Structure 1
Amino acid sequence: MFRKESFTAVSLERMITSGELLPDDDMPSERVLMERFGVGRPAIREAMQSLANKGLVSISHGERAKVLRLTAKSIFRQVDLTAKIMLSQSADSLEHLKSARIFFERGMAREAAQRASANDISDLRAIIERQRLSLGQAEEFIDADMEFHTRIAQISGNPIYVAVSEAMLAWLKEYHTEMLIWTGKEKFTLAEHDEIVDRLEANDVDGSEMALLNHLERSRALYAK
């Protein structure tokens, strides 16, 4: 048998998944929901908190809960903490994530080489220049590095690819060591980024993949527990 709270949570979810309530709609008042489902205020509040924990609604004190507009990015945010805990508990998980990133980004490079516009190439070169100007500033350099790789994923035009890229890079950032800041090592990254963009601009599918693969294989040691 379902507890009343569990039954109520499932019923509230169904109101959203069925389209009865749409993104940005206010949830009905507690009183309306209590009457509709025949439960007390505690069951409604617990069910509403369950929806908030799943990222389906937002709850603000003194206001009606609001149905959230789900995106690939917001879905990955829901598992962000869980993913970081998993990575912290297992060296194998971190290695698996590095391998998954390389597999994913090789595909992104091939896709980008076929789709990259002049504007895409200009954006990537601007990111490299900002990264070059941040030499000696570890946080800014790494942020620009993450932006570069995510911008390649954006060329696909697929928001799910972008969300996957952002999520994996954010999880890996937790384990980025100071090895990147060794004198001269940053220049390898900049040169490799330049090579990747050159291959993308030439619409060289195999060359783009190989340039990115060489870059990630060299840098995978920068992420360690």
Structure 2
Amino acid sequence: MSDALKVSRRKLSDEVFDRLYAMLLNGDYRPGDSLPSERQLMEMFGVGRPAVREAMQSLERAGLVSIHHGQRPTVTMPTASGVLSQIELTAMHMLSSSPQSLEQLKEARAFFELGMVARAAQKATDKDIERLETLLEMQRSQLNVDVGAFIKTDMSFHVAIAEMTGNAIFIAVSNAMLNWLANFHTEALHWKGNEHVTLEEHARILDAIRSHDGDAATDEMRAHLDRAGMLSLIS
């Protein structure tokens, strides 16, 4: 009898989830809106409190609502970075379980980087150029001083290029891929004794972007990533 009840409750919560999700897709509740109270949802769907709570927890895990004690759940504004954060643990597990997945991730990163740097060269503003120059100088200042800061600034340089595209999905993907690689292969991030090569490559990429030369920027980024693919994952 108890097993039957457990199965029934699970199915009810799935049904509640599906109905609420459909309402979100239909625009019945927009980002920032509060959903009905537990009691209202129980009456609306003709189910008990457990089914409503389980469905709401599933919505929260999916990043669709935020739940705060004593308040009604609030519909969240979906973002590309939020969507990717939902799969971070799965991505890390995939990378740790499959060498092939790591190689595919590196290939995907190169594909995105080449497209992004070409777009960045087209759209670069004076402010964008100044930011890249600042990041390059920051990285240069960490040479033989702080390996962790050198790598972090290296990643920031690449993310800044993604941000220059103005595409939120490019930015989120760039951040995610760099972080996944950094978390999975920290020992491979530092090409000891040859940091100057990274700085020279970044400087050439910056020069091409400054000249708004998308082809040159792509060529320089390709050379940078080809070398990086053999020697490290980030720089």
Q: TM-score w.r.t. structure 2 length?
A: 0.90
Segments of structure 2 that go 5 or more residues without pairing to the other structure are 1-7
Pairing of 1:172-187 with structure 2 (within 5 A): 172-187=181-196
Secondary structure at the aligned position of 1:174 is classed as helix
* Number of residue-to-residue matches in the alignment: 224
Pairing of 1:3-82 with structure 2 (within 5 A): 3-82=11-90
Segments of structure 1 that go 5 or more residues without pairing to the other structure are none
Matched, 1:127 2:102: no
Q: 1:7: how far off?
A: 0.7
Q: 1:182: how far off?
A: 4.6
The match for 2:146 is 137
Q: 1:180: how far off?
A: 4.5
Matched, 1:88 2:96: yes
Q: 1:70: how far off?
A: 0.6
Matched, 1:166 2:170: no
Counterpart among 118, 137, 149 of residue 158 in structure 2: 149
CA distance in 2: counterparts of 1:54 and 1:177, whole angstroms? 29
Q: Deviations over 1:30-66 (max 9, x none)?
A: 0000000000000000100110111101122232221
- Percent sequence identity is 47
1:76 maps to amino acid: L
Q: Deviations over 1:82-138 (max 9, x none)?
A: 111111111000000001111111111111121111111111010111112222322
CA distance in 1: counterparts of 2:232 and 2:200, whole angstroms? 17
CA distance in 1: counterparts of 2:15 and 2:188, whole angstroms? 52
Q: TM-score w.r.t. structure 1 length?
A: 0.94
Distance 1:31 1:116, change over 3 A: same
- Aligned-pair Cα RMSD in Å: 1.8
CA distance in 1: counterparts of 2:175 and 2:89, whole angstroms? 14
Secondary structure at the aligned position of 1:39 is classed as coil
CA distance in 2: counterparts of 1:12 and 1:38, whole angstroms? 14
